[in-house]
Amino acid sequence: MDERLERYITELFAPEDSILAAIRARHAALGLPPILISPDEGKLLHVLLRAVGATRVLEIGALAGYSGVWLARALPRHGRLTTIERDPRHAALARRSYTEAGLVERVELIEGAALAVLPTLAPGFDAVFVDADKEPLAQYFDWSVRLLRAGGLLLCDNAFFHGSVVDDADHSPGTEGVRAFNRLAATDPRVVSAVAPIRDGLVIGVRVSP
Encoded amino acid at 205, one letter: G
Q: Which domain, by its residues, includes 199?
A: 3-207
User: Does the pLDDT at position 170 exceed 80?
Assistant: yes
For the chain, what percent of residues have pLDDT higher than 70?
100
pLDDT in tens, 176-188: 999 999 999 999 9
Quickly state the pLDDT bin for 3 (edges 50, 70, 90). Answer: confident
182 versus 2: the higher-pLDDT residue is 182
Model pTM score = 0.95
Give me the pLDDT at residue 118, please. 98
Beta-strand relationship, 202-207 and 191-196: antiparallel
User: Does the pLDDT at position 1 exceed 70?
Assistant: no
How many domains, in total, are found in the chain? 1
Listed in sequence order, the residues at least 6 apart from 2 whose beta carbon sits closer than 8 Å to its beta carbon are none
Stretch 154-170: mean pLDDT: 95
Quickly state the pLDDT bin for 32 (edges 50, 70, 90). Answer: confident
Encoded amino acid at 155, one letter: L
Give me the pLDDT at residue 209, please. 78
pLDDT in tens, 67-77: 999 999 999 99
Query: How far apart are the C-alpha atoms of 59 and 82, rounded to whole Å?
Result: 6
User: For 199, left (φ over 0), alpha (ψ -120 to 50), or beta?
Assistant: left
Query: How far apart are the C-alpha atoms of 210 and 193, rounded to whole Å?
Result: 16
Quickly state the pLDDT bin for 34 (edges 50, 70, 90). Answer: confident
Stretch 143-151: mean pLDDT: 98
Query: How far apart are the C-alpha atoms of 167 and 25, rounded to whole Å?
Result: 32
User: Does the pLDDT at position 120 exceed 90?
Assistant: yes
User: Does the pLDDT at position 210 exceed 80?
Assistant: no
- CATH at 18: 3.40.50.150
